[in-house]
Amino acid sequence: MSGRVKGFRFAGVYSGVKADDALDLGLIVADEPAVASAVFTRNRVRAAPVVVSERRLKSGLCQAILVNSGNANACTGKQGQQAALALTRVAAAALRVPIALVVPASTGVIGVPLARDDIERAIPSLVADLSETGATRFARAIMTTDRGPKLARAEVKVGRTMCRVLGIAKGAGMIHPNMATTLAFVVTDVPLRRATLSRLLRQSTEVTFNRATVDGDTSTNDSIYVLASGAATSRVIDEKSAAGRRFAAALTEVLESLAKQVVADGEGAEHLVRIEVLGARTNTDAVQIARTIAGSQLVKTALHGCDPNWGRILAAAGRSGARFNPDHVSMKIGSVPIFERGTPVMTPRTELKAAVTMKRGEYVITVTVGAGRGLGHYWTCDLGHEYVRINADYRT
Amino acid sequence: MSGRVKGFRFAGVYSGVKADDALDLGLIVADEPAVASAVFTRNRVRAAPVVVSERRLKSGLCQAILVNSGNANACTGKQGQQAALALTRVAAAALRVPIALVVPASTGVIGVPLARDDIERAIPSLVADLSETGATRFARAIMTTDRGPKLARAEVKVGRTMCRVLGIAKGAGMIHPNMATTLAFVVTDVPLRRATLSRLLRQSTEVTFNRATVDGDTSTNDSIYVLASGAATSRVIDEKSAAGRRFAAALTEVLESLAKQVVADGEGAEHLVRIEVLGARTNTDAVQIARTIAGSQLVKTALHGCDPNWGRILAAAGRSGARFNPDHVSMKIGSVPIFERGTPVMTPRTELKAAVTMKRGEYVITVTVGAGRGLGHYWTCDLGHEYVRINADYRT
- DSSP per-residue string spanning A92-105: HHHHTS-GGGEEEE
Report which of B178, B235, B233, B237 is spatially closest to residue B208, judged by C-alpha positions: B178
Q: Name which of A271, A312, A358 to mutate to probe chain B: the one with the most chain B Cβ atoms within 10 A of its Cβ.
A: A312
- Give the fold, CATH level 3, of B8-264: L-amino peptidase D-ALA esterase/amidase (3.60.70)
Distance spanning both ends of chain B, measured CA to CA: 41
Q: Do B302 and A44 touch (CB under 8 A)?
A: no
- Which pLDDT band holds residue B2 (cuts at 50, 70, 90)? low
Rounded distance between C-alpha atoms, residue A307 and residue B388, angstroms: 13
- Which pLDDT band holds residue B13 (cuts at 50, 70, 90)? very high
B370 neighbors B280 (Cβ within 8 angstroms): yes
Residue B216 has pLDDT above 80, yes or no: no
Q: What is the pLDDT of residue B368?
A: 98
Rounded distance between C-alpha atoms, residue B68 and residue B70, angstroms: 7
Q: How would you label B161-176 residue by residue, b for 16+ Cβ within 10 Å and e otherwise?
A: eebbbbbbbbbbbbbb
A67 neighbors A105 (Cβ within 8 angstroms): yes
Q: What is the pLDDT of residue B309?
A: 86
Burial (0-12, 13-18, 19+ Cβ within 10 Å), A329: buried
Cα B259 to Cα A266, A334, B201, B253, B378: the distances in Å are: 32, 39, 14, 10, 11
Report which of A203, A192, A215, A230 is spatially closest to residue A6, judged by C-alpha positions: A230
Residues 160-189 of B with CB under 8 A from A: 173-174
Instruction: Give the residue with greater pLDDT, A1 vs A44.
Output: A44
Q: Do A311 and B110 touch (CB under 8 A)?
A: yes
Rounded percentage of chain B residues whose pLDDT exceeds 70 = 94
Q: What is the pLDDT of residue B396?
A: 39
User: What average pLDDT does the structure give for chain A?
Assistant: 90
Report which of B231, B196, B239, B194 is spatially closest to residue B35, judged by C-alpha positions: B194
Give, as one character, the DSSP assignment of residue A233. Answer: -
Burial (0-12, 13-18, 19+ Cβ within 10 Å), B281: middle
Residue B176 has pLDDT above 60, yes or no: no
Rounded distance between C-alpha atoms, residue B262 and residue B379, angstroms: 10
Which of B144-153, B210-219, B244-253 has the highest mean predicted lDDT (pLDDT)?
A: B244-253
A388 neighbors A298 (Cβ within 8 angstroms): no
Residues 320-349 of A with CB under 8 A from B: 320, 323-324, 326-327, 339, 342-344
Question: Which residues lie closer than 8 Å to A361 by C-beta, 6 or more apart?
Answer: A264, A270, A271, A272
Rounded distance between C-alpha atoms, residue B296 and residue B315, angstroms: 10
Q: What is the pLDDT of residue B172?
A: 67
Helix, strand, or coil (residue B260) = helix
Burial (0-12, 13-18, 19+ Cβ within 10 Å), B16: middle
Residue B196 has pLDDT above 90, yes or no: yes
Give, as one character, the DSSP assignment of residue A236. Answer: P
Q: What is the pLDDT of residue A395?
A: 47
Q: Nearest CA of chain B to the CA of A175: how many Å?
A: 11
A342-380 tens-digit pLDDT: 888 889 999 999 999 999 999 999 999 999 999 999 999
Q: Nearest CA of chain A to the CA of B120: how many Å?
A: 23
Distance spanning both ends of chain A, measured CA to CA: 41
Cα nearest neighbour of A345 on chain B: B111
Quick check: B60 contacting A, CB < 8 Å? no
Mean pLDDT of B311-330: 91
Report which of A310, A352, A357, A354 is spatially closest to residue A330, judged by C-alpha positions: A310
Please report, as a single letter, which amino acid is at residue A130.
L
A101 neighbors A61 (Cβ within 8 angstroms): yes
Report which of B299, B285, B280, B288 is spatially closest to residue B380, judged by C-alpha positions: B299
- Which pLDDT band holds residue A212 (cuts at 50, 70, 90)? confident
A215-234 tens-digit pLDDT: 666 677 889 999 999 999 88
Q: What is the pLDDT of residue A178?
A: 35
Q: A217: which chain B residues are within 8 Å (Cβ-Cβ)?
A: 296-298, 312, 315-316, 319
A17-48 tens-digit pLDDT: 877 778 999 999 999 999 999 999 888 888 99
Q: Do A46 and B314 touch (CB under 8 A)?
A: no
ipTM of the complex: 0.75
Burial (0-12, 13-18, 19+ Cβ within 10 Å), B53: buried
Give, as one character, the DSSP assignment of residue A299. Answer: H
Element of type H or E holding A165: strand A161-170
Cα B318 to Cα A173, A387, B297, B324, B375: the distances in Å are: 17, 22, 15, 8, 16
Helix, strand, or coil (residue B203) = helix
Residue A67 has pLDDT above 80, yes or no: yes
Give, as one character, the DSSP assignment of residue B370. Answer: S
Residue B390 has pLDDT above 50, yes or no: yes
**List A41, A88, A145, A181, catalytic entry:** A181
Q: How would you label B121-131 residue by residue, b for 16+ Cβ within 10 Å and e otherwise?
A: ebbeebbebbe
Quick check: A82 contacting B, CB < 8 Å? no
Top CATH class, A272-393 = alpha beta
Q: What is the pLDDT of residue A315?
A: 86
Q: What is the pLDDT of residue A180?
A: 33
- Which pLDDT band holds residue B178 (cuts at 50, 70, 90)? very low
- Which pLDDT band holds residue B220 (cuts at 50, 70, 90)? confident
Give the number of other Cβ atoms within 10 Å of residue B2's Cβ: 10
Report which of B106, B113, B142, B169 is spatially closest to residue B22, judged by C-alpha positions: B142
Question: Which residues lie closer than 8 Å to A82 by C-beta, 6 or more apart?
Answer: none
Q: Name which of A43, A71, A73, A75 to mutate to probe chain B: the one with the most chain B Cβ atoms within 10 A of its Cβ.
A: A75
Q: Is A313 left (phi over 0), alpha (psi -120 to 50) or beta?
A: alpha
* Residue B181 annotated to the active site: yes
Q: Do A314 and B45 touch (CB under 8 A)?
A: yes
B222 neighbors B43 (Cβ within 8 angstroms): yes
Report which of B225, B135, B224 is spatially closest to residue B181, judged by C-alpha positions: B224
User: What average pLDDT does the structure give for chain B?
Assistant: 90
A/B interface, count of CB pairs below 8 Å: 211
Is B8-264's fold the same as B272-393's?
no
Report which of B289, B188, B199, B292 is spatially closest to residue B240, judged by C-alpha positions: B199
> B224 φ, ψ to 5°?
-125, 120
A100-110 tens-digit pLDDT: 999 999 998 87
- Which pLDDT band holds residue A172 (cuts at 50, 70, 90)? low
Q: What is the pLDDT of residue A175?
A: 47
Q: Name which of B218, B299, B312 to mutate to probe chain A: the one with the most chain A Cβ atoms within 10 A of its Cβ.
A: B312
Q: Do A307 and B394 touch (CB under 8 A)?
A: yes
- Sorted by where each begins, the domain ranges of chain A are 8-264, 272-393
> A323 φ, ψ to 5°?
-85, 130
> B208 φ, ψ to 5°?
-125, -80
Mean pLDDT of A151-165: 95
Question: Which residues lie closer than 8 Å to B349 by C-beta, 6 or more apart?
Answer: none
A305-333 tens-digit pLDDT: 998 888 889 889 998 999 999 889 999 99
